[in-house]
Amino acid sequence: MKQKNFAICYNKQISHSIEVKDKLEKILLAHNIDAQVFDIDELKSECNFVFVIGGDGTILKAARFYAKFKIPVFGINLGRLGFLSQSGKEDIKLAVEKILNDEFIIEDRIMLKCGDYTALNDFVIKGCDTGRTSKFSLMINDKFVCDYLADGIIISTPTGSTAYGLSAGGPVLAPSLNVFVIVPICAHTLTARPLVVSDTEKITVCTEGQAFVSADGQESFEADKEICIKKSEFDAKLALLNETEFYSVLRSKLHWATPPSYISL
């Protein structure tokens, strides 16, 4: 493996993160690797491989930041689902050994942008009056598609298709696909269904007044009447130990196609 400048990013707001960070530091030091360490709120770019300790939210924030530097991130899960992570805290030693032996791949994940904001999972658009439905007009490449009377609209990447979009009735998309999915939230019609479009399309959502827009559920801003979303010029880079991991995660973490009686609650 070519020389790597490793970094460890952790989320001190998550229980046990400091303990896991210390464990990872010791494992790397045993391999004569002195990694720089910083909190998720103090991200630094003087590295070329980052271990990220936390939940999916922590990994999303780190992946967005490091995308513009083309730096891969490797997630160690301390959250509930850990859909973006590749290792649990119990498997860190094995994961480090595989990475040092170059037994991993780097998978590019397309992202969305809206103005100065970037999303790896999704942009969620809702009207100012969150207590009632709003009218959203959808345009693709400046051509009118339809009006939605709904609680909101989700514009999602394949990576984000297993997040809010899935709970709102959207499809699960393989992360390698170059597409976006548009999912209305509680649309007031039986004929409103999710749309899957090419990632080359420009998606515009028009509202009757101000709207609230959320990027990955972490950054929010207000927009006036017209919201333009398209593919980001940067791809997030996720370090993966197994290129088919996505499908095993569907089974193990989302209990895909498992009868309810077999799921341990």
As a whole number of Å, the end-to-end CA separation of the chain is 42
Tally of residues, the chain: 265
User: For the CA atoms of the chain, what is the radius of gyration?
Assistant: 20
Measured CA to CA, the distance from residue 133 to residue 148 in angstroms comes to 9
Residue 139 burial (CB count, 10 A) = 16
Task: Fill in the amino acid letter for 161.
Answer: S
Residue 5, number of CB atoms within 10 A of its CB: 14
CB 96 within 8 A of CB 33: no
The gap from C-alpha 188 to its chain's centroid, in whole angstroms, comes to: 28
DSSP state of 247: H
Phi/psi of residue 221, nearest 5 degrees: -155, 160
Q: Which of 180, 178, 182, 118 is nearest to 150 (CA)?
A: 182
- What distances in angstroms separate CA 112 from CA 5, 65, 141, 157, 165, one per listed residue? 28, 13, 15, 7, 14
**Integer CA distances (angstroms), 143 to 17, 140, 209, in order:** 48, 5, 20
Active-site amino acid positions: 56
